[in-house]
């Protein structure tokens, strides 16, 4: 898809799904802001993959759950790359445990990284989109936000919150020709799913109609579609890319 003349910021894009999304936009001609919090080596690797293929990108560090750092990130990307047309809120983390064993910091860290960051990053980005009267916001949720998962009350709450945020913001910004959608990935091999043991993986595959895990590229393709001109009449929607795991 053609993203020439567009600037895309992908939070949490130093590896996994985020890196695949960044690469997909760069392949389409966009200038891409690769964001990371702590994985500097991963961000460099993602940038090198883009540059070696002839793409354009910059690398930016920030804790996007911190409102001041997020605002500074947006200002810097806009100054360096010439604005932000496409925002993908992908930064995320897990701290899995049963609720009775969950410590306050395990709740707070997941909610802040996964949900508060979307508030912190999206709010300052919207001003530029309003001026252009064009913008795309794509939030990465999860099938867990739709169905729940034992041992992930914090993660599921954050991902369900993203869906509510997406639908509410879509109504607010539609008059300015800004669309807001969410992707709900199923189980994708990334650092967040590496902790699964063989029994857990087998259980996931047995309940996934397509009988396999997805790939980061398959999520990236869905994101690219929602960011494209072809999706201009789609807003407030949740696209599940999950091999049929959650059907509603």
Tokens of 162: 């993203």
Given 36, 60, 119, 155, the catalytic residue = 155
Tokens of 17: 């799904």
Number of Cβ within a 10 Å radius of residue 37: 20
The answer to whether 155 is a known catalytic residue is yes
Distance, in Å, from the CA atom of 167 to the CA atom of 115, rounded to the nearest integer, reads 14
Distance, in Å, from the CA atom of 210 to the CA atom of 204, rounded to the nearest integer, reads 11
Signed CA dihedral, 11, 156, 182, 218: sign only: positive
> Do 17 and 220 touch, CB atoms closer than 8 A?
yes
Tokens of 91: 């930064």
Tokens of 229: 């001109």
C-alpha of 70 from chain center: 15
- Catalytic (active-site) positions: 155
């Amino acid at each position: 898809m053609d993203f020439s003349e567009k600037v895309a910021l992908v939070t949490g894009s130093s590896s996994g799904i985020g890196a695949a999304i960044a690469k997909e936009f760069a392949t389409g001609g966009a200038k891409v802001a690769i964001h990371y919090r702590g994985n500097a080596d991963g961000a460099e690797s993602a940038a090198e993959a883009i540059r070696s293929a002839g793409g354009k990108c910059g690398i930016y560090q920030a804790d996007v759950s911190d409102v001041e750092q997020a605002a500074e990130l947006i200002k810097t990307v806009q100054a360096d790359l010439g604005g932000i047309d496409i925002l993908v809120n992908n930064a995320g983390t897990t701290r899995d445990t049963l609720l009775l064993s969950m410590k306050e910091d395990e709740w707070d860290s997941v909610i802040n990284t996964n949900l508060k960051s979307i508030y912190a990053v999206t709010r300052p980005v919207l001003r530029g989109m309003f001026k252009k009267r064009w913008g795309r916001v794509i939030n990465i949720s999860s099938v867990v936000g739709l169905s729940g998962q034992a041992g992930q009350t914090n993660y599921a709450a954050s991902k369900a919150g993203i869906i509510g945020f997406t639908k509410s913001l879509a109504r607010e910004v539609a008059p300015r020709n800004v669309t807001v959608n969410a992707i709900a990935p199923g189980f994708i091999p990334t650092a967040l799913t590496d902790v699964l043991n063989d029994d857990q993986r087998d259980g996931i595959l047995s309940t996934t109609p397509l009988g396999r895990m997805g790939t980061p590229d398959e999520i990236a393709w869905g994101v690219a579609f929602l960011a494209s001109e072809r999706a201009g009449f789609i807003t407030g929607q949740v696209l599940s890319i999950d091999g049929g795991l959650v059907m509603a």
